[in-house]
Amino acid sequence: MTQYDYIVIGAGSAGCVVANRMTEDGETTVLLLEAGKEDTKPEIQIPLEYPKLYGSEMDWGYFSEPEPYLNNRKIFCPRGKVLGGSSSINSMVYIRGNHHDYDHWQELGNSGWSYQDVLPYFKKSENQQRGADTYHGVDGKLSVTDLQAPATVSKRFVEAAVAIGYNHNPDFNGVQQEGAGLYQLTVKDGKRHSAAAAFLVPILKHPNLTTITGALVTRLLFEGNCTVGVEYMQHGQLHQARVNKEVILSAGAFDSPKLLMLSGIGDAEHLQAMGIPVVVDLPGVGQNLQDHFLVPVAHQAIQEFHPAITSNGGAEAGLFLHTQSNQDAAPDLQFFFGSILWGVPTSTDYGMGFTVTVSPTHPQNIGSVSLSSPDPKDPPIIRINFLQSQSDMQKVIEGVKIMRQLFDTNAFDQFRGEEVGPGAEVTSDEALIDYIRSVCITGYHPVGTCKMGTDPMAVVDPELRVHGVEGLRVVDASIMPTLVGGNTNAPTIMIGEKAADLIKAPLRV
């Protein structure tokens, strides 16, 4: 049986970073296991084509259980099943979250995770087109670039936001987050720059890295409380690989807790009900699921405009703001604007148009991930509980009203057609609530199911080591104790960068 110094499960945003950093010395051996295929599908490389990847063979294609606050709809939850993971199918928006998010992590008992602690890791990964400064780096492997020829209406969105009193913010990842501006993307030379393209492709031929695709890890192997390897299935055959030092679990917010539970780490009662022998009773595994959600406001266009080009993603402009009810330091609403009609029923019948989505930055919904069976091939049970909080609903209603005010400015006079979502006839709060429940979808940012901390529901400690076992860490978005105020891909890459240093720390003299 082949042995490696480290085994990384999942070649997603964090896993690719860890594989890269752990093989830097040319001697440390790493096995990288990915359940999906290589990232050769043409649509992966074309930024504007990313919606075509949802539901494809590059996507796990998960669905939630019927959502009780969304008219019992099952919510589609795409997750990347390919080299690069979800960074190969996402919209490429580069947002780090708010400074206060990370300071809050530290306040929760996670030493070393304050904003000042994590900023160097954001900078380390980044090759910022605009150059280096206090908040940005240029020596990293991940290309962060401005939009190429943003759509006319995207620039008008920023103008309109300024017209109704919000400041122009050219850098959501700099001094402050609040304000309106154009998003930066993880794009290089007009093509998607996924975690695989940035961190994995350059090292694929390194002799100390072994990458195996089509490898579904079925369980972790233990001797007592020590992690000694993994079992995985490829082409219908079971294989095992042994580890000398550590297994790094980077399978994401749905599959990392699933694999822990399949391996006997989780709530003992749930594991026993599934007939799985308990290795460690960790009741927090699969709990604390958090995710952003999106609600669209969409307009037809009365004339054609310069649309988004293929090297840009679907969201070009954005806005972070505080609602009237929010006195916190961090904005509580984020908006994504694009020059397409999106998310509205039968929107393809309307022709040209533009859409903004409303998204609370720190929604109150708390869900869970659990096993549907002890069979590794079966999907997990996902409960998200979007809009279980009345305060979230009130923020979305306010956000829709703010967007209506924004679209009513002179900046949109040239293009503004009929509002097709929610629709001009939808004016009362009661009617808006019905609309919101009928169209609300995921923001594609699931986190928190293997949360970092020292409390009884924590799964990993602040060095990302799984409580109760040796030689096992979780390194992905599932370790976030709370959801950051913004997109989660950049923070997940940061987690990979910091984890690599934590893993190497004992080796330092």
Residue 422, both tokens: 């929610």
Determine which helix (DSSP H) or strand (DSSP E) holds 336, and give its type and residue range. strand 333-338
The region, left, alpha or beta by phi > 0 then psi within -120 to 50, assigned to residue 453 is left
pLDDT for res 436: 98
Residue 507 is predicted with a pLDDT of 45
- Cα distances (Å, whole numbers) of residue 457 to 124, 203, 281, 291, 316: 31, 37, 11, 18, 38
Position 343 scores a pLDDT of 80
Listed in sequence order, the residues at least 6 apart from 116 whose beta carbon sits closer than 8 Å to its beta carbon are: none
Identify the pLDDT of residue 348: 54
What pLDDT digit, counting tens, does each position of 498-509 carry? 999 999 986 443
> CB atoms < 10 A from the CB of 326, how many?
18
Residue owning tokens 């679907």:
314
Q: What is the pLDDT of residue 508?
A: 42
pLDDT < 50 regions, the chain: 507-509
User: How far is Cα 243 from Cα 179, in angstroms, rounded to an integer?
Assistant: 48
**Both tokens assigned to 174:** 């700099």
Angle (deg, nearest 10), helices 99-107 and 115-125: 130
Q: Which residues are identified as catalytic?
A: 445
What pairing do the DSSP bridges indicate for beta strands 368-370 and 353-360? Answer: unpaired
Largest CA distance in the chain: 69
Peptide bond into 374 cis (omega under 30): no
pTM beyond 0.95: yes
Shortest CA distance to 445 belongs to which of 393, 491, 400? 491
Residue type at 314? G
- Asked whether 230 and 238 are in contact (CB, 8 A), the reply is no
In sequence order, what are the beta bridge partners of 467? none
